[in-house]
Amino acid sequence: MIRDTIKKHADFAMGDSDPSARCAYFLVRAKNAKFPDDPRYGLIVTKKTFKHAVDRNRAKRLIRDWICANENLLVREWDYVFVVRRDILTANRTDGRVAMKKALHYLKKLYKNAK
């Protein structure tokens, strides 16, 4: 299942109490899905962090690949926002997928404990 993406600026807003996980390549925050039947994810890849469009596009491709590889760890009741860090450009595919797996596993554990 491929998730839809968050497009509206207001939907990217997160609260301080929302669960989050971080690694060298990205920060991921989760919040209750706006549409529980159709959970989404959003990517924040800024010009301040990545000056060139080529770098921004590469970062987005990498994150999307890592999300697809770990789709089973995403909680259906949550929307996710990924804030990409500069170090993602030095990551290889395997390291990124492992980092994504650890971050999503951590968030899934928080979700189960909150229930």
CATH code at position 56: 3.30.230.10
Residue 68: both structure tokens together:
């697809």
Q: Is residue 10 part of a domain?
A: no
Q: Is residue 84 part of a domain?
A: yes
Q: Is residue 31 part of a domain?
A: yes
* Residue-number span of the structural domain to which 64 is assigned: 19-114
Q: Is residue 1 part of a domain?
A: no
H or E, element range at 21: strand 20-22
Q: Is residue 86 part of a domain?
A: yes
What is d(CA 103, CA 20) in angstroms, rounded to the nearest whole number?
8
Please report, in tens digits, the pLDDT of each residue of the chain (115 residues total): 567 888 888 888 888 888 999 999 999 999 988 887 778 899 999 999 999 999 999 999 999 999 999 988 988 889 999 999 999 999 999 999 999 999 999 999 988 887 7
Can you give the pTM of this predicted structure?
0.90
Q: Is residue 48 part of a domain?
A: yes
Our count of domains for the chain comes to 1
